[in-house]
Each structure stands twice: as C-alpha cells, then as structure tokens.
Amino acid sequence: MKWPYSLKNKLSVSIILTIIILLILLVNIQNRQRFEQLDHSMSSIYEDRLMVQNYLFKLYDNLQKEEKLRNSTSNSIIKDLDELKEERQQIISKYEETYLTEKERKEFANFLNHLNKKDKLEQQILESKDSTTRVNLHEAFETNTAKTLNSMRNLSNIQTQEGKALQISSHKIVLGSLSISQLELAILIVLALVIQVLIFTSKTLKIKTHTPHHLN
C-alpha cells in the first residue's frame, strides 16, 4: 500500500479516474453495438428466414391447388387459375421484399424462370386443340413443374442454412456481450478499489497532519 503516498497531486488521481471512466464508456458503447447486432440478427431470423419459409409453403400450396384444378372439370377453371396466379404473384412480391443472399437471389431467379415457363405451357395446353400437341405440351409441363418444385426445395434448404448461420452468429454475439459485461464489472471493481484506497489515504494523511507534537 505504498503507491498511494506517491501521488503528488490531484491531477494524477484525476487522470486515473478519467481513464477508468473512459474505459467504462467504451465498454458500454461496444455492448450497445452488440445488442443492436443481436436485435438485427433476431429480426432477420424472423423476417428473412421464418417468413420466407412461410411464403414458400404458401407457394407450394398454391401450386398444389393449381394442379388439382387442372385435373378438374370445373366450368370456371380459367377464372380459378387466374385467381391462383394473382395470389401467387402477391406471395412472390412479399418474398422479393425480404433480404436475399447472392445464392438465394440466383436460385429465386431460377425459380421464377421455371414458374413463368410453366404458366406459358399451361396457357398453351388450354388453348391447344390438337391432341398430339397437347400430349407434348403436357410432357413439357410436367418436366417444368418438377424443375419448379426442385427449385423451391433449394430455396427452402437455403433458408435452413441461413437460419443456422444466424443462430450461430447470435450465439457469438451473446457470448461476446457476456465477456464485455464481465470486463465492465472488473473495471467497476478496480474503480471501487481506487476510491477506497484514496479515501483511506486521505484519512491517514489527515491523522498525521493533526497529530500533536509533545515538547520535552
């Protein structure tokens, strides 16, 4: 406990306390940034992954309804197909508003390409009168439908992979925040010890100053 007595003036004490306070502020800012990153990560998991999976499910359901409708004898088949296409376009528009990775953007463009071809083939089938042509169109339609569904599976797999990556990232952010919190606590303990030492030193100096001198 000899070092407190080496402090010659208040400036030294002020510098020490200022450094400690600046460290606390720096740690606090870093912690705040990490929580903002965590908030963004959690929002992305919901908005860009879980919601997208929901859109993919709705698209799949839409295509299944369309398939059943194509095999039906409904008199309003064209009207019903148009309604399903309109519903599908609304889902796609919502999908496009989400964050897409480069890999996802390419696969989504691939999916839309297959989907557009499928819609064109479907229209040609409805308008065709020649039986041979209709058979060929049906074969092309089935092939393209399989490619469309496979592209949807790829998109779904991407959601799983990206969701896992976001989970790992969030876990790292939490661990980093805990480490920073521990550092902040350590700095506060050091600050408390410095204050206690300064108080003790101050009292010691006062006692020495007021000690009476006995004359012999």
Mean pLDDT of 81-100: 89
Predicted TM-score (pTM) of this structure: 0.62
Domain boundaries, the chain: 9-209
Question: How high is the pLDDT of residue 110?
Answer: 94
Please list the alpha-helical segments (H only) found in 3-130.
10-44, 51-70, 77-96, 102-127
Query: Up-side HSE of residue 74: CA atoms within 13 Å toward CB?
Result: 13
Please report where in the chains the tokens 């409805």 appear, as a residue: 126
What is the pLDDT confidence band of residue 122, given thresholds at 50, 70 and 90?
confident
Q: What is the pLDDT of residue 38?
A: 66
